[in-house]
Amino acid sequence: MSGDVLKKRTFQAIPMVFSFFKKSSEKMPERAPARPKGETAPAPAPEPTAAVAREEEWDQDFSLASTQPNASYGIEVHEETDPFAEIAEHAAILYANGQDEAARATLEAAIRGNRDPGALRLWAMLFDLLRLKGERAAFDALGLEFARVCELSPPSWDAGLSAARKKTARASAGQISLQGVVAGDAAAFDALLQALAEGSGRSIDLGRLAGLDAEAAAKLAKLLQQARRRGLAWSVSGAEGLVARLAKRTVTGQAQEEPLWLLLLELYQYLGWEAQFEEKAVDYAVTFEVSPPSWEAVRMQEAAPAAAPAAEAAEEEGEAAVLEGEILQGNLKEVSAYLNPGQECHLDFTRVTRLDFVSAGALANLLKSAGAGPVVIYHPNRLVAELMRVMGVDQLARIELSKH
């Protein structure tokens, strides 16, 4: 009997233990605040819908989530990459390295049937590539496809841009102009050789000459010397800036780049600067340990000799440095003459067909270190412009693309 009583008491104790730990699910009713007589309570605000609540949450967290990891959930939001920018960069680098067909294949594969607005830059690059290669039939076929796919008018064939792939100099009415960075195979030398053979007069404009290699310097010096000794009516204009740059590059005791010395001495004679000629001739003899050229006044010079400028003579303010052809292996030394601190500089890339990776990097470094005023780069083709973007040149200069 005592055992039954013990069991009963134990059974009754268990509910008491559970009831002690149990939490009530009911809340005490909230007492409404007292209001003056006659005033009705405002209607309760409606509960926000799930969509509105989500929109408010997105608005509050958007700026934070797009720039840094989410502190609450540990989720890091990355900026999406532009696939068209990556393709454009790849094609530009291929072209810069001389892999024209690979660049063309890359662009053709990317634009095929693609009317996305972001792909228009790839279409433009391919149009320019076909221009530069002179492939008119392929260009016209691409124009038809562009009109069909993108429902836009295609660009027109620009004969001027396609002709820029040939290194030529303008020669009309007896005047020959050397522009940009001139190499030894420039077409201007053929025109000068022809004038020399015919014994005809020529006016040579050097005002827009940014630079020339050793072979070009040797050719120009020899042509000027032969014309002067034969008494031909050859004149030189705009040579003051080139003379100033050559004077800086020809250092006494450094037996380097002899053609530049000879060209400088020849230009002194055409300009009639006898004092500068005699001083530089002595430096030439000391540096190369040879007899220097002798002063021989130009007998039939059409233009009167110009006054000698200061050693720091520069190009006319606002004049553009016109570059042309392929710019390879960082051949941009002469461009620095156009970069004057605090002055706006214009670089004309209309006739540049290719800029390699080394030269693009050299251009960026030159713009960084020169401390020049605003720099404007005019009309590079789309492949060159894209490489400039890759190398950060667009952060150092304003690039103005041609409209076509």
> For residue 42, what pLDDT is reported?
53
Among positive and negative, which fits the CA dihedral 213, 215, 218, 221?
Answer: negative
> For residue 306, what pLDDT is reported?
39
205: phi then psi, degrees, rounded to nearest 5: -100, 115
> For residue 69, what pLDDT is reported?
35
Contacts of 233 (CB under 8 A, 6+ apart): 201, 202, 300, 301, 302
Q: What is the mean pLDDT of residues 342-355?
A: 85
Say yes or no to pLDDT of 398 above 60. yes
pLDDT for 55-72, tens place per residue?
444 333 333 233 333 333
Question: 398-400 and 375-378: which strand pairing?
Answer: parallel
Contacts of 335 (CB under 8 A, 6+ apart): 210, 211, 321, 323, 347, 363, 366
pLDDT tier at 283, thresholds 50, 70, 90: very high
pLDDT for 69-104, tens place per residue?
333 334 343 445 678 899 999 999 999 999 999 999
User: Considering the chain, what is the average pLDDT of its residues?
Assistant: 75
**Closest C-alpha to 334, from 323, 343, 349:** 323
Which amino acid, one-letter code, is at 385?
A: A
pLDDT for 374-389, tens place per residue?
888 989 999 999 999 9
Rounded to whole angstroms, how far apart are CA atoms 154 and 143? 5
Helix, strand or coil for residue 341?
Answer: strand
Share of the chain above pLDDT 90, in %: 32
66 DSSP β-pair partners: none
pLDDT tier at 165, thresholds 50, 70, 90: very low
| Weakest-pLDDT range from 9-18, 101-110, 280-289, 388-397 | 9-18
What sections of 186-239 are H helices per DSSP?
A: 187-198, 214-229
> For residue 24, what pLDDT is reported?
45
> For residue 265, what pLDDT is reported?
94
DSSP state of 375: E
CB 393 within 8 A of CB 367: yes
pLDDT for 239-278, tens place per residue?
888 999 899 999 999 999 999 999 999 999 998 899 999 9
